[in-house]
Amino acid sequence: MASNSNPSTRVVVLTPDAEFAGVVRSTFGAAKAIDLVLLAGSIADQGAKLNVDGAAVVVVDCDDAQPGALDALGRLSVRLGAAVPVIAITQSFDAAVARTLMQMRVSDFLLKPIQPIDLVRACARAAKSAGAPTTEAQIYTFLSAVGGAGATTLAVQTAMLLLGSGGPRNKPSTCLVDLDFQHGAIADYLDLEPRLNLAEIEPSPDRLDRQLLEVMLSHHASGLAVVAAPNRPAEMRSFDPDVVTRLLDLVSSHFEYVVFDMPRTWFAWTDSVLLGSNKLYIVSETTVPGLRHAKQLVAAIKERLDGGPQPQVIVNRFAQKMFASGLGMSDIQQTMGDAFVSAIPNDYALVREAIDRGVPLDEVKAGNKITAQLKKLVIEQNRAAEGKPVPLLKKLKLSLAG
């Protein structure tokens, strides 16, 4: 390790290549403005314990032919998030390597042999971009514990609430995404034409950019953006995870709020979506099987996604009646414990009319109890959580979640 006594910018370099280490040392070693930390070793062996405290840029010499090297680089990129830019150095370059590095969102990558001036410029660009302010979408995910629990309705109303949280003159950009590609109902609930064509982008996920996303967005009269695909009830398909994760990464990069309505079926990309969520809501109904399934799902998610967002249970269509048989609030709290977060009042007639008209609940009945409870849950309780980054946010990558 080489270090200057009066540093201003720390550059951490990890490489198993003695020749490249010599290039780095000669490039940065004598620069008084650079605090060079030069470490010997491979990313596969050293990535998990690599100390990057105070680093402005991390340069990783990654031999893509070494087993586990790219996976280790991906985990490091996720660990650092947007805080410290990563520059990858590769031995070879092809479409597969480029695609993987793009998915990891490394700041830059260089191909050996490297000219010192190119390394300096790459580090300067990365350090400059790291100083720019960044914003990340707040992601709210709804997952049903049982069929017919009303998760789609709650997802739609939550998106409407988030859209209106800035007032009529300053509506935050909000996108509602229907991830049930087989039986999705969001477009029907809002009386919109679903425009997402996954089959068109599946052959080449890399071509999905902001311009193409705009073509595939549906827009509600309220200003809400919706991503939904046409229903294919007789066609059970599992889309390439790269297509789905690229779509979700792009959406989360261009909206302030994103609401996901999840299918009950667990796909290869489900882990990534749940890990990237700021709030994860499990929606149940007020029945013994519903609460049992919700409790099982909470336990399974905690075990499967250790370190991810804590799943919270919403009991939908709850009706508290005195001197009546059935489950009461105390039963729900005792069953769900700390995972229970809210009970949404039952008003089937109101919800049915709003769905039939394709409008928010408040447009049918202003100040209704369902909207009031959701507002307390989503807007008031979660306001304090905004601005706190999620490590996997905007890095919804299957390769990192597996």
Phi-psi region of 281 (alpha: psi -120 to 50; beta: other; left: phi over 0): beta
Residue 394 pLDDT class (50, 70, 90 cuts) = very low
Superfamily of domain 9-130: Response regulator (3.40.50.2300)
389 vs 210, higher pLDDT: 210
The answer, yes or no, to whether the previous bond of 113 is cis (omega within 30 of 0) is yes
Residue 82, pLDDT above cutoff 60: yes
Length of the chain measured in residues: 402
CATH of span 138-401: 3.40.50.300
The strand order across the sheet containing 57-62 reads 34-40, 9-15, 57-62, 86-90, 108-111
Residue 353: DSSP 8-state? H
Least confident of 115-124, 179-188, 315-324, 369-378: 315-324
Cα(221)–Cα(201) distance, integer angstroms = 27
Quick one: average pLDDT of 362-386?
Answer: 82
Residue spans in the chain of domains classed CATH 3.40.50.2300: 9-130
Contact 141, 269 (CB under 8 A): no
Q: Are 396 and 252 within 8 A, CB to CB?
A: yes
Q: What are phi and psi of 149, to 5 degrees?
A: -75, -15
Q: Is pLDDT larger for residue 337 or for residue 66? A: 337
* 333-348: average pLDDT: 91
**Residue 203 token pair:** 């052959």
Q: Tell me the mean pLDDT in the region 254-260.
A: 92
Phi first, then psi, for residue 343 (nearest 5°) are -120, 120
pLDDT averaged over the chain? 82
151 has a pLDDT exceeding 80? yes
What is the DSSP secondary structure assignment for residue 10, as one 8-state letter? E
324 — pLDDT class (breaks 50, 70, 90): low
Structure confidence at residue 382 (pLDDT): 59
Answer yes or no: are the C-beta atoms of 265 and 127 closer than 8 Å.
no
Three-state secondary structure call for residue 26: helix
- Please, where in the chain does CATH 3.40.50.300 lie? 138-401
Q: What is the band of 383 on the pLDDT scale with cuts at 50, 70, 90?
A: low
Per residue in 238-250, pLDDT (tens digit) is: 677 777 877 888 8
Q: How many CB atoms lie within 10 A of CB 58?
A: 25
